[in-house]
Structure 1
Amino acid sequence: MIQNAGTIWSIIKSVLAALFGVQSQQQRRQDFNHSSPWPFIIIGGIIIAILVIVLIAIAHQATAL
Structure 2
Amino acid sequence: MNKHSKAVWQIIKSVLAALFGVQSQQQHQQDFQHSSPWLFIVIGGIVIVLLVSILIAIAHQAIAI
Q: CA RMSD in A?
A: 1.2
Deviation, structure 1 residue 36 = 1.7
Which residue of structure 2 aligns with residue 47 of structure 1? 47
% same residue: 69
Q: Aligned ranges for residues 1-65 of structure 1 at < 5 Å?
A: 2-65=2-65
How many angstroms apart in 2 are the aligned matches of 1:43 and 1:25?
20
Number of equivalences: 65
Deviation, structure 1 residue 32 = 2.0
For structure 2, the residue ranges without an aligned partner over 5 or more in a row are none
Runs of 4+ more than 6 Å apart = none
TM-score (structure 1 length as normaliser): 0.93
For structure 1, the residue ranges without an aligned partner over 5 or more in a row are none
- Counterpart amino acid of residue 38 in structure 2: W
